[in-house]
């Protein structure tokens, strides 16, 4: 966990405070009309949990950062301090979401453990919507929020090792700068497909999270903002999960 998610949690919260109402409506539409409870691993300060709760959905989040969990709870949200690769909430949910490339911070072995844990926390046939970058095309995003100037840029890609580095830079009105490098897994279409195939989920749809209305795209597409629709397969729950490296099976 980097300092941005712990020591500077309030700054991260302010930097990512853009409107997501339309996106949350789309997520709920994809989760289905019978979805009444949603789990969000890596929930941070609750930026997705909050609009879900406003729509009458029982929204529960987990996060490793105690500061992030405290921010979410201060908003009246239900958040639990837990590691997304090893947690047990003692219940199941109708669906789950994980936005903004959060799973990119996991190694392939950690992703396998995470998907196994998620399968134990969603009902058979439930959808898990994951926003994850596929492919190593460098990209850069810049925006302003709450008086902050934010830049998030790909700094280095190591295709052979299946790793990439991204740099975040947040500048305040007073000129103070918080800058960090984030080590992420580089997922190719083949490696991601293999990892999902070895999990208790099946990928049932893929959407362009940067396009108007989040249109569907063909399997195997690459991009930094793809929404992956994973469906929990009933007959695989509890089966052993084999680690899959970034080069595939």
Element (H, E) at 124: strand 122-134
The CA distances from residue 172 to 16, 115, 211, in Å, are 14, 37, 30
Which segments of the chain have a pLDDT < 50? 236-249
pLDDT (0 to 100) of residue 247: 35
Instruction: From 185, 182, 157, 158, select the one nearest 170 (Cα to Cα).
Output: 182
CA separation for the pair 57, 36 (Å, rounded): 5
CA separation for the pair 244, 198 (Å, rounded): 8
Q: Which top CATH class is 3-136+185-236? A: alpha beta
pLDDT (0 to 100) of residue 248: 36
Instruction: From 115, 154, 119, 98, select the one nearest 237 (Cα to Cα).
Output: 119
pLDDT (0 to 100) of residue 5: 84
Tell me if residue 238 falls in helix, strand or coil.
coil
CA separation for the pair 88, 121 (Å, rounded): 8
Phi, psi (5° rounding) for residue 244? -125, 125
The distance from CA 2 to its chain's CA centroid, rounded to whole angstroms, is 16
Location of structure tokens 């959905």: 57
CA separation for the pair 174, 176 (Å, rounded): 6
Q: Which two three-digit tokens encode residue 15? A: 């930097």
Element (H, E) at 194: helix 189-197
pLDDT (0 to 100) of residue 1: 61
Location of structure tokens 């109708």: 94
Q: Is pTM beyond 0.95 here?
A: no
């Amino acid at each position: 966990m980097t300092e941005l998610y712990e020591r500077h949690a309030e700054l991260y919260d302010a930097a990512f405070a853009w409107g997501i109402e339309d996106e949350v409506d789309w997520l709920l539409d994809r989760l289905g009309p019978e979805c009444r409870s949603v789990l969000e691993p890596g929930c941070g300060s609750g930026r997705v949990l909050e609009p879900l709760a406003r729509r009458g959905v029982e929204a529960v989040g987990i996060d490793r950062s105690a500061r992030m969990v405290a921010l979410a709870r201060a908003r009246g949200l239900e958040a639990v301090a837990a590691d997304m690769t090893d947690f047990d909430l003692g219940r199941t949910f109708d669906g789950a979401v994980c936005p903004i490339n959060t799973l990119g911070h996991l190694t392939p072995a950690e992703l396998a453990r995470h998907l196994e844990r998620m399968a134990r926390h969603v009902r058979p046939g439930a959808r898990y919507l994951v926003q994850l970058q596929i492919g190593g095309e460098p990209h850069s995003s810049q925006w302003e929020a709450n008086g902050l100037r934010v830049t998030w840029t790909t700094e280095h890609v190591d295709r052979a090792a299946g790793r990439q580095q991204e740099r975040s830079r947040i500048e305040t009105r007073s000129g103070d700068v918080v800058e960090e490098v984030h080590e992420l897994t580089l997922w190719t279409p083949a490696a991601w497909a293999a990892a999902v195939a070895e999990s208790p989920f099946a990928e049932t749809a893929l959407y362009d999270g940067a396009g108007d209305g989040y249109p569907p795209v063909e399997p195997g597409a690459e991009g930094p903002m793809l929404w992956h629709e994973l469906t929990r397969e009933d007959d695989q729950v509890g089966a052993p999960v084999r680690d899959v490296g970034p080069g595939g099976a």
